[in-house]
Amino acid sequence: MNTPESFFGGAPEALASAPGRVNLLGEHTDYNDGFMLPLATPQRTDVALAASQDDQHHLYSGTLDGNVTFAARGGSAPQGFGSYVEGCIRLVEARGVTVPPLRMFVSTALPVGSGLSSSAALEVATLRALRQWLGFELDDVALARLAQRAEVEYARVNVGIMDQMASSLCDERNMLFIDARTLDHRLVPLPPETAVIVVDSGVPRTLAASKYNERRAECEEAARKLGVAALRDVSNPADAAAVEALPEPLRRRARHVVQENLRVLEAARGVSAERFGALMNASHDSLRDDYAVSIPELDQLVAALRAAPGVLGARLTGAGFGGACVALCRAGSAREAAQAALSTYNKAGRQGRILIPVPTQGKENNNEPVRVSPAPAGT
């Protein structure tokens, strides 16, 4: 396995990193022009780069122990982590910036396939490293837009904007309220004296991509039948009645999106810890019953989290069909609650693991909870 020193033959010329994200409310709303409340993860993806000595881009993933090489001019990376990086490079070039042949070393602490958006972290870290190395102007919202386009156009995943906005603009102490239509955004503190737990179900999200595209198409059809540009525009009682008149499964898909947007807007105005937890519970139930993106393992993990001491609410996070679940708990109880939920869940032969609180030196019983405090004045 390469090290950065051996890969570069010395020090790199630029270093950048970006976090993953865990979404607390607002699932499957971003591609419906809706609202969401993600939070940055403590785990990050790191990118280092330097000039290449030939006319090839050379990429290496320390996490995967894999190499990708493609021509700097006119070449294409194979599908995989290289396609995300290639998309970032090509879109920077489309802005009139010359990107010389480069060597890039990528490593990440984010678990791939757990719903914490390792792909967005890679894209944002790559664009930050290119911005630093080449010195071009690119604000953080424009950077998120480019990162999204890289995933859609080069990795061929038709994602919304939430993951990239969160990775580019979030921090670990505050949620980021995002309006997917306007990209207006602001930091929103969680209720005081709370902490976040994330537990991976151990089930890969094998159906997430195909079902994601299916749900997106169903939402577009529902919006067309309702005569609105997007389901975000369903906002009054008459519209809600029209939703209930839609044929199945469009009725349930649209109902989830409409109610989920209302949950986000309520939470963003500021609610008690207990109310925020109740909104998370309602979100999961809607994702399970109306949007049909949960699976038995996620439901079991959510139930284990809800039963754990100090937990106020829990839901799946990410696209569904596997991946992780997130819970809000009282500060000081995150470690005990996460371990209790994991113990209950794994008794059925599951292979879950705690992602947040982050293990210290590989020992989950030394975890420290991610505490959420009020935003600084002026945010």
CA distances from 47 to 43, 96, 152 (A): 14, 23, 21
Query: Are 112 and 251 within one domain?
Result: no
Say if residue 225 is in the same domain as residue 139: no
- Is 379 inside any structural domain? no
* pTM for this entry: 0.88
Q: Are residues 56 and 113 in the same domain?
A: yes
**Which of 163, 189, 215 is the last residue before a domain boundary?**
189
| CATH number of domain containing 159 | 3.30.230.10
Contact 7, 181 (CB under 8 A): no
pLDDT tens-digit series, residues 128-138? 999 999 999 99
Q: What is the number of domains present in the chain? A: 2
The answer to whether residues 204 and 221 belong to one domain is: yes
On whether residue 128 sits in a domain, the answer given is yes
Which of the 8 DSSP states describes residue 113? T
Residue 323: inside a domain, yes or no? yes
Q: Clarify whether residues 162 and 227 are in a common domain.
A: no
**What single string gives the DSSP state of each residue in 231-254?**
GGG--SHHHHHHHHTSPTTHHHHH
Q: Are residues 9 and 136 in the same domain?
A: yes
Rounded distance between C-alpha atoms, residue 178 and residue 262, angstroms? 13
- Interval 81-92: pLDDT, tens: 999 999 999 999
Q: Are residues 226 and 326 in the same domain?
A: yes
User: What pLDDT does residue 377 have?
Assistant: 28
Q: Which domain holds residue 136?
A: 4-189
Domain with residue 274: its CATH number is 3.30.70.890
In tens, the pLDDT along 244-292 reads: 999 999 999 999 999 999 999 999 999 999 999 999 999 999 999 999 9
Among this protein's residues, is 163 annotated catalytic? yes
Pairing assessment for the beta strands 102-108 and 35-51 based on DSSP bridges: antiparallel
Q: Which of 141, 161, 189 is the last residue of a domain?
A: 189
Q: Is residue 377 part of a domain?
A: no
* Residue 353 bridge partners (DSSP): 200
**Given the residues 30, 33, 163, 290, the one annotated as active site:** 163
